[in-house]
Amino acid sequence: MTTLLLNADMGESFGPWKMGLDHEVMPIVDLANVACGFHASDPDTMRATVRLAAEHGVTVGAHPAYPDLVGFGRRSMACSSDEIENLVLYQIGALSAMCHAEGARLGYVKPHGALYNDMMRDPDKLAAVMRGLRAFDTQLPLMVMATRDPSMARAVAAEHGISLWLEAFADRAYDAEGRLVSRREAGAVHHDAEVIIDQARRIATGKPLTAFGGSELVLEADTLCVHGDNPESIAAVKAIRQALQDIEATS
């Protein structure tokens, strides 16, 4: 059984436009993936989110993305390797400054959206992300998708001297290779709380999930991504936390 750390995307409001229920989900999670201004957020939101995380003893992670505010970072962009390296470095630096101002420390990096998905399919893009991280701090772990076979990510990480945290999702459907099913597909996002909690339990205990197409899929994971966008999702996160605590207590 793996003790899973719960992580959630945070600080995604922008100016007067509000997204998410950060004040409600922050006390439940271990890790906060804070948007760095390229797909969402602004300096005020970034600093306030870091402050909120510090108040609850939650580790802050940078959540860098392609420069795509209109598309919320969910659209792939034709960025060169140098551009990816520098946009990652830029965003990590911006959030680290907010951490410094609030007496906190940046704990890890988790790319967002299309950048996250693209780097898991393209070793060159993954290497570029790692170079940006390494240029800032070689001690920061990089959070990557926990696929059926994570050997590519591990090989690139070993080459760059970067440690990895493997991430799984409680509320997303997987394909046979352990990659997230596109949000454009029906059934890509789970909404039933019982399904979400069951998937969290299976990941935590190393039991197989059922991938699209019906094949069994076992994921090795260090952290579980949860979402807190509405009251129903907050209730699901609380139930996942309780389920993981129950598993730990009986293991």
The whole-angstrom separation of Cα 82 and Cα 228 is 34
> 63: which strand partners?
35
Considering only 11-20, 135-144, 153-162, 242-251, which range has the smallest mean pLDDT?
242-251
pLDDT per position as a tens digit, 195-205: 999 999 999 99
Question: pTM of the prediction?
Answer: 0.94
Could you give the domains of the chain? 5-170+218-226 (3.20.20.370)
pLDDT per position as a tens digit, 43-95: 999 999 999 999 999 999 999 999 999 999 999 999 999 999 999 999 999 99
